[in-house]
Amino acid sequence: MLSVVSRDLGWIEVIVGSMFSGKTEELIRRLRRAQIAQQKVAIFKPVIDNRFSEDHIVSHNEQRIPSTAVEDVSEIIEKAKDARVVAIDECQFFDPAIIEICQKLANQQKRVIVAGLDQDYRGVPFDPMPQIMAIAEYVTKTLAICVKCGNPANKTQRVTKQRDRVVVGALDAYEARCRNCYEHPKEN
């Protein structure tokens, strides 16, 4: 069956999973392919995510691509006006206004690619990701490898005592765990 994609059609793609599951790596792969196709891309991330770089999105295996850090999601519309492809990494750190921003961009005939955690360290859906998945045309769920048993992992285990919902970190604060090895955090 022949598939025809209109260049005048916008859509939303979502890449979700636990930490260390390759979300950012997959996002970068898709962006590099768009660049090879000579599509203009605009890449964004929240200011809070400065773990590896302030002006790149960086995967845990050190792949990187230039990006713009934004404080307020409303900045994205103006900064992406000339782009055909708009990418947003670590989307779970943005406020719920990002949902409408994604809709507006897709309605402007842009390909919108969003990556983020689908669950927080407590195993609770991490807003606004569930809402964006609901309106997306494509959803990809990535899995990590459980550090305890080697099975597919879809949970993010926090290994520090911090209890704030948002704690930006990497191997120093989190591990990938499967359903069986995940230990639900104890409430204080």
Q: Among 54, 90, 175, 187, which one carries the catalytic annotation? A: 90
Beta strand pairing call for 174-177 and 152-153: unpaired
Task: Give residues with Cβ within 8 angstroms of 47, minimum separation 6.
Answer: 69, 70, 71
Q: What is the CA radius of gyration of the chain?
A: 17
71 is known as an active-site residue: no
Q: Which amino acid is at 81?
A: K
Q: How far is the C-alpha of 76 from the C-alpha of 58, rounded, in Å?
A: 19
| DSSP 8-state secondary structure symbol assigned to residue 3 | -
Q: How far is the C-alpha of 10 from the C-alpha of 89, rounded, in Å?
A: 19
- Which run of H or of E encompasses 56? strand 56-58
Helix, strand, coil percentages (3-state) for the chain, rounded to 5, are 20, 30, 50
Q: How far is the C-alpha of 25 from the C-alpha of 102, rounded, in Å?
A: 21
> Looking at the annotation, which residues are catalytic?
90
